């Protein structure tokens, strides 16, 4: 069993979970995080750290989320240190249908020069 990040992370992107992960298995997108399920050691220390309660244990009802986490863990950069949450995090915590309406497949953009890190 692994842990995965689900839709409540979208447009919140709290990184408290990153700070406690012993194996650095989080990857950062423009507006959410994912877990590399192959690197996750199933310790669960990240679960209570997520203010948005977006991290869950792998289960049949989350198979689509498992696939999304796998896919983007291969594309997005690894994140190993806590960063501030997105400015709109509190406003978007608990908003329904975030995957369909707000998900971005892009890597995080540089705040300094607003370029996509994939373009560098």
Strands 33-35, 26-28: pairing is antiparallel
CATH of the domain at 16: 3.30.70.20
Q: For position 5, what pLDDT does the model report? A: 98
Could you tell me if residue 114 is inside a domain?
Answer: no
Could you tell me if residue 98 is inside a domain?
Answer: no
How much is the mean pLDDT over the chain? 92
Average pLDDT of the residues in 72-94: 96
Q: In terms of residue numbers, what domain contains 84?
A: 3-93
Could you tell me if residue 107 is inside a domain?
Answer: no
Could you tell me if residue 21 is inside a domain?
Answer: yes
Could you tell me if residue 72 is inside a domain?
Answer: yes
Q: For position 111, what pLDDT does the model report? A: 44
Query: Structurally, how many domains does the chain consist of?
Result: 1
Q: What percent of the chain has pLDDT over 90?
A: 89
Could you tell me if residue 15 is inside a domain?
Answer: yes
Q: For position 109, what pLDDT does the model report? A: 77
Do the beta carbons of residue 26 and residue 7 sit within 8 Å? no
Average pLDDT of the residues in 96-109: 94
Could you tell me if residue 12 is inside a domain?
Answer: yes
Rounded CA gap, 83 and 102, in Å? 20
């Amino acid at each position: 069993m692994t842990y995965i990040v689900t839709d409540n992370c979208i447009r919140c992107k709290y990184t408290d979970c990153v700070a406690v992960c012993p194996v650095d298995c989080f990857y950062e997108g423009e507006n959410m995080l994912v877990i590399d399920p192959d690197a996750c050691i199933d310790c669960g220390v990240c679960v209570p750290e997520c203010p948005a309660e977006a991290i869950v244990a792998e289960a049949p009802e989350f198979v689509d989320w498992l696939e999304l986490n796998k896919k983007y863990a291969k594309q997005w950069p690894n994140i190993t240190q806590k960063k501030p949450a997105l400015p709109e995090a509190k406003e978007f915590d608990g908003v329904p249908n975030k995957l369909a309406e707000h998900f971005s497949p892009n890597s995080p953009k540089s705040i300094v020069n607003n370029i996509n890190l994939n373009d560098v």
